[in-house]
Amino acid sequence: MLRQGGVILYPTDTVWGIGCDATNAEAVAKVYRIKQRDDHKAMICLVDSDARLQRYVRQVPSVAWDLLDAVVRPTTVILDGAVNLAPNLIGEDGSVALRITKEEFSKELCYRFQKALVSTSANISGRPAAQNYCDIEPELLEAVDYVCYSRRQEKKPHEPSSIIKLTADGVVTIIRK
């Protein structure tokens, strides 16, 4: 489904996500439409490894690796110099939000797909994120092309990731704790 430009619902290392091929501009546009979200608001991408993260940023600052090694909870980093992604996924300042997932299902999905996946929370913009499958609104279930089966029975609290912006010149800004 992802290779065909489809949009999926899937469990991540945080909340349930709406995802697609992060290199496919049409698929990214579809995610914006489904979420009823302004396409100027950035979305997060998931990758499975350090090596894959490096494919989407011109130069990863060394402080990013130190930070990612030190954090305990899922943390998204916003980095300058985005490359090899759909243009409508890259911020106006040329940045991109990336997270290396360690959760079993989403990591395997990213690994098998061999590309970055869009990972925006499974909700209509402005509404609460779906912590579990049972929290996903029916209109979202109908709007996507595929819903993953993994972790559908789970009912436990999940939080969105921390988000930290790291500039090439070493400025660190906490966007979301």
Domain annotation covers residue 59: yes
In a domain, 87, yes or no: yes
Whether 94 is covered by a domain: the verdict is yes
Using CA atoms, how far apart are residues 4 and 145, in angstroms rounded to an integer?
A: 10
Total domains, the chain: 1
Decide: helix, strand or coil at residue 34: helix
- Asked if residue 1 is part of any domain, the answer here is no
pLDDT at 53: 97
| pLDDT tens, N- to C-terminus, the chain (177 residues) | 999 999 999 999 999 999 999 999 999 999 999 999 988 888 999 999 999 999 999 999 988 999 999 999 999 999 999 999 999 999 999 999 999 999 999 999 999 999 999 999 999 999 999 999 999 999 999 999 999 999 999 999 999 999 999 988 878 999 999
User: Residue 170: what pLDDT?
Assistant: 78
Report yes or no on 2 lying in a domain: no
Q: What pLDDT is recorded for position 40?
A: 81
Considering only CA atoms, which of 113, 153, 115, 106 is closest in space to residue 134? 153
Look up the domain containing 28 and give its range: 8-176
- Biggest alpha carbon distance in the chain? 45
Any domain includes 99: yes
Predicted confidence at residue 96, as pLDDT, reads 97
Q: How many other CB atoms sit within 10 Å of the CB of residue 155?
A: 10
CB 30 within 8 A of CB 86: no
Report CA 79 to chain centroid distance, whole Å: 14
Q: For residue 122, what is the domain's CATH number?
A: 3.90.870.10
Is 58 a domain residue? yes
Q: Please report whether residue 143 resides in a domain.
A: yes
